[in-house]
Structure 1
Amino acid sequence: MKRTIATIRDVAREAGVSVATVSRYINSNGYISDRTVKKIREVMEELDYKPNEIARGLARKKTNTIALIIPDITNPFFPELVVAIEKMAKEKGYSLILINADEESLQSGLFLRSLESRYIDGVILASFQFDQDILKELDGSKLPFVRIDRAADEDSPNSIGLDNYKGAELAVEHLIESGCKTIAHISGPRTFPPSIDRQRGFQAVMEKKFPGSELIVFEGDFTLESGKKMTEVLMDEHQDVDGIFLANDMMAIGALKALKQLGKSVPDDVAIIGFDGIKIGEMVEPELSTIEQPIYQIGIAATNRLIDMIENTGETLEQIKLNVRLVVRESSMR
């Protein structure tokens, strides 16, 4: 026989009080006599009544739920980020909603309203493809949000930034130290702040080390497929290239595939280095050199910053900019 689930009305009836009184007890809101508290507690235990946490959250206008918006769940960078954010959120008493949003949905005027309908307390944005109207609405709303990765903005105190420029410098300097003479860059989308900074870092080192030489830059979209395709185009047009810095690890793995199919040896013919430090880079052959982001620390810092904003701790929000490090593996070791 199916068990009947007790409701707040059942508790009120059995305890001989109003629904409003039971609600005040559950939400710790307003005076209730000790005798009534004892009676309500006893009835709740007898009926095995469990308050609806969502309803309680709505009553308090706080659900202890945050959302993470990412652009591509198939990129291993983001699942690693999710693990850190979910762990820290849980430790702080919050649950996490994951939203894998495509570009079209982010440009929709309904996007902010759909967020609000989910009854969340705050948002971590890892996707950059928000139009200015959406960003203005977010800024003007009471919904706290933190920007990371592709959405990070160095001018905003609610961003967790990364030294992408320095990372690019480290990557190109390493390829030069490995003996590369003709180095190309396959960037991410040039509208993304991290792509812009990584290309700037590439350009700065090349102009310093090889003044007057042609800058070889192709634009990818951070996917494995674009890394493969752009590497094929690159090697067709610039057969003398002996080093490639790719703006993320997924594109670098695509480049490894393309070079193998072209009969090029990595790193003997062409040295490769990516950017991110995702675990899969250690599983490919040859193992991928990379500029490692502190993915776990990004997630922890973003979650702490967002919850501080939600709970209005009163702490001054200072800009956070995390460092990167060079990780040398077989793909660039000559």
Structure 2
Amino acid sequence: MAAGGYAGVREGVGTIAGNRKVGIKDVARVAQVANSTVSHVLNGTASISPEVRARVLDAATELGYLAERKVKATISALRTVLLAVNDDALPENETNLFSWTVLNALSRDCERRGVRLAPFAAAGNLSAEQVLAAASEVSADGVIIVNDDNRDLLNGIRAGGIPAVLINGEDQGMQVDSVTPGNRFAAQLATSWLISHGHRKILHITWAGRTTIHRRLDGFQDAFRASGLPLSDAPVLRVGGYEPRFGEEAIRQWLAEHGGMDGVTALFCASDNLAFGAIRGLVAAGLKVPDDVSVMGFDGVALGELVMPPLSTVKVPLEQMGPAALNLLEQRILSADSDRAAHRLELGCSIIERSSVANLP
């Protein structure tokens, strides 16, 4: 039973005769509250004290009422969720719009559902010991991890027994639920779109990031294979990170090593940040975007429509990732099944067409 729960719940379960359907009245009787209070708690229609809310949720869970109604999005079995992130994911700045947008939407959805979101930010890489200790300290029902798909971290959290969902990462061992953009398919879609605009030699600028970033490289190469184009015309340039300065460095490096663009007519960058930097690098080198070189990004952050020229990019459903993670976490808790297979939810992406990409004859 959850901390702060009502000790009489299990005793009350046995008093329901036969196998008749459990209703709000049963929950109210076991939790020793009014029927209207149960309705308010389950539907989020009034402010209820944490102690009373806990009693109602414990009663509804033990009686099986919550599981019967779990398909209704207005019900939340979550009270406190630990948000585990690296400290560089929290501030809002030019290089952090992806994570900031995801976390902002997650925070709003928690507020709507009456769920307390307890942030835990670590300097550097997260560790399972840190996360589990922080979750215990705030009596968290579950954990949401953002961006960090380190195997040791995920295996440790799985072994700790607390429900967890990973946002924007992949658990290669498929032990932890996850929500991520459909990176590989979206990258193939974007590259095929560039090819359909006449581009035949496309440079992919990326970095040695998480598995999700590797999927974007896979999709880039998939598009060349599907179009019957040689991978020799799909060069890959790996840089030191995803910040715009690395995009600028990539252009300087390519131009210096090849004496020009060497036939490349388009860039497909693994993030919008790299694309922003690449545009600056091209302009500094006296090249025009898109007249000389087209540029395509990936993420769909708001800044993309403000740069010059406005950036064509892959739109990731950033504001849907947090709510989707909460849904997965709730389903995991309501199932109460230790053998439930991990779920990997991939969200569809789309192309935003702006003026940084030109048609070739």
TM range (shorter): 0.7 to 0.9
CA deviation digits over 1:104-126, x for unaligned, max 9?
4x147544324433432211112
Q: Distance in 2 between matches of 1:129 and 1:165?
A: 17
Q: Distance in 1 between matches of 2:105 and 2:318?
A: 8
Q: Distance in 2 between matches of 1:63 and 1:213?
A: 51
CA deviation digits over 1:10-61, x for unaligned, max 9?
xxxxxxxxxxxxxxxx965459xxxxx9xxxxxxxxxxxxx9959x97xx99
- The normalised TM-score by structure 1 is 0.74
Give the percent of matched residue pairs that are identical in Structure 1 and Structure 2.
Answer: 27
- The normalised TM-score by structure 2 is 0.69
Q: Distance in 2 between matches of 1:63 and 1:306?
A: 8
The residue correspondences of 1:193-204 to structure 2 (distance < 5 A) are 193-204=211-222
| Residues 313 and 167 of structure 1, relative CA distance in 2, 3 Å threshold | same
Q: Distance in 1 between matches of 2:149 and 2:324?
A: 22
Unaligned runs of 5+ in 1: 1-25, 32-36, 38-50
TM-aligned CA deviation for residue 242 of structure 1: 1.7
| Residues 284 and 101 of structure 1, relative CA distance in 2, 3 Å threshold | farther
| Residues 98 and 281 of structure 1, relative CA distance in 2, 3 Å threshold | farther
Conserved? CA contact 1:154–1:161, under 8 Å: no
Q: Distance in 1 between matches of 2:137 and 2:175?
A: 26
Q: Partner of 1:12 in structure 2?
A: none
TM-aligned CA deviation for residue 209 of structure 1: 3.8
Q: Does 1:173 align with 2:208?
A: no
Q: Distance in 2 between matches of 1:214 and 1:163?
A: 24
Q: Structure 1: which amino acid aligns with 2:296?
A: I
TM-aligned CA deviation for residue 290 of structure 1: 0.6
Unaligned runs of 5+ in 2: 12-31, 33-47, 59-76
Within the candidate set 302, 308, 325, 2:350 is matched to 325
Aligned residues: 288
TM-aligned CA deviation for residue 156 of structure 1: 5.1
Q: Structure 2: which amino acid aligns with 1:91?
A: R
TM-aligned CA deviation for residue 90 of structure 1: 2.0
Rg bigger for which structure?
Answer: 1
| Helix, strand or coil at the partner of 1:333 | coil
Within the candidate set 102, 107, 111, 1:81 is matched to 102
Q: Distance in 2 between matches of 1:96 and 1:201?
A: 35
| Helix, strand or coil at the partner of 2:250 | helix
TM-aligned CA deviation for residue 301 of structure 1: 0.8
What RMSD in Å do the two structures reach over aligned CA positions? 3.4
Conserved? CA contact 2:146–2:166, under 8 Å: yes
The residue correspondences of 1:295-334 to structure 2 (distance < 5 A) are 295-312=318-335, 319-334=344-359
TM-aligned CA deviation for residue 303 of structure 1: 1.3
CA deviation digits over 1:90-149, x for unaligned, max 9?
222202123443434x147544324433432211112225352x3222111121111121
Q: Partner of 2:257 in structure 1?
A: 237
Q: Structure 1: which amino acid aligns with 2:333?
A: I
Q: Distance in 1 between matches of 2:219 and 2:229?
A: 14
Q: Partner of 1:122 in structure 2?
A: 142
Q: Does 1:95 align with 2:116?
A: yes
TM-aligned CA deviation for residue 228 of structure 1: 2.1
Conserved? CA contact 2:310–2:354, under 8 Å: yes
Q: Distance in 2 between matches of 1:265 and 1:299?
A: 38
Higher mean displacement: 178-187 or 123-132: 123-132
TM-aligned CA deviation for residue 212 of structure 1: 5.8
Q: Partner of 2:132 in structure 1?
A: 112
Conserved? CA contact 1:247–1:275, under 8 Å: yes
| Residues 108 and 149 of structure 1, relative CA distance in 2, 3 Å threshold | closer
CA deviation digits over 1:251-271, x for unaligned, max 9?
111111111211111111111
Q: Structure 1: which amino acid aligns with 2:346?
A: K
Higher mean displacement: 320-329 or 60-69: 60-69
| Helix, strand or coil at the partner of 2:298 | strand
Q: Structure 1: which amino acid aligns with 2:354?
A: R
| Residues 111 and 305 of structure 1, relative CA distance in 2, 3 Å threshold | closer
CA deviation digits over 1:142-195, x for unaligned, max 9?
2111112134559457122332111111221222222323211012325x1111
Q: Does 1:213 align with 2:232?
A: yes
| Residues 153 and 81 of structure 1, relative CA distance in 2, 3 Å threshold | farther
| Helix, strand or coil at the partner of 1:181 | coil
Conserved? CA contact 2:120–2:134, under 8 Å: no
Conserved? CA contact 1:152–1:161, under 8 Å: no
| Helix, strand or coil at the partner of 2:133 | helix
Q: Distance in 2 between matches of 1:264 and 1:69?
A: 42
| Helix, strand or coil at the partner of 2:255 | helix
